[in-house]
Each structure stands twice: as structure tokens, then as C-alpha cells.
Amino acid sequence: MTRFRFALCLVPLALLVACGGPSVPPAANYGSISGRVFDSATNQPLAGVLVTVDTILTATTASDGTYRIGTIPSGQYTMALQTPQGYAAPNFNAPPYSGSIDSGQTITVDIPLNKT
């Protein structure tokens, strides 16, 4: 009976392997965006700023104002951010806040913010 149970467990595993399992695109099909958010007048980093790409990929700036968002599908992208209180958002209708990214590419987007 033990061999029978063992065989029953192996059949689904063998079928999964034979079918190839779930397909995950290789990492080279994605790009990444990194940069720094800072006060435009003092050049001081701004921590805790939420940076968003295509409304679903997010990162929060570190204490040095840096962020990195990986696994961005190649093609067109649009960035947005949640500005901290007392700061105005830049114009996100102009590059480099929207554009295209190629597979394996890393784009640097530094974002200066103005005090209101």
C-alpha cells in the first residue's frame, strides 16, 4: 500500500513537470527606474516620498532620498508621486517622468521638489 500512495503522489508532479509548469518571463524582459527625490532649493534629500510607476509599481524614498523600482515591463511608462506636505509636485506631463523603457535598461530619474 505504501508504494501505491507514493505512486499517486508522483503522478501529479510528473504531469506538472511534463507541462512545463507556470511560465515566468525572464528578468531581461523588464527594466528599472531609480533616482533621488530632493528639495530643489537646498538639495536636501526627501525621505518617505511614495514614487509610483504605472499606478501599480511603487517605492518609498529612503533617508537619503533614493528609490528604485524594478520589474517594469518594457514599453511605455508613466510616473507619479505623492508629495510630502509643504512641497509642490513637478510637471509629470513632460519627460523624464513618462517615456519608454527597454528590456534590461535602468533609467535614472531624479525629482526636484519645490517648497510651497
Reported as a single tens digit per residue, the pLDDT across 78-113 is 998 888 899 987 766 555 588 899 999 999 999 999
Question: Could you give all domains of the chain from N- to C-terminal order, each with its CATH number?
Answer: 24-115 (2.60.40.10)
The grid coordinates of residue 29 equal 524582459
Spatial distance between the Cα atoms of 45 and 29, rounded to a whole number of angstroms: 31
Please name the residues in contact with 2: beta carbons below 8 A apart, sequence gap of 6 or more.
Answer: none
Which residues, in sequence order, are CB contacts of 76 under 8 Å at separation 6+?
A: 98, 99, 100
pLDDT tens-digit series, residues 70-83: 999 999 999 988 88
Q: How far is C-alpha 46 from the geometric centre of its chain's CA atoms?
A: 19
Cell numbers standing for residue 89: 509636485
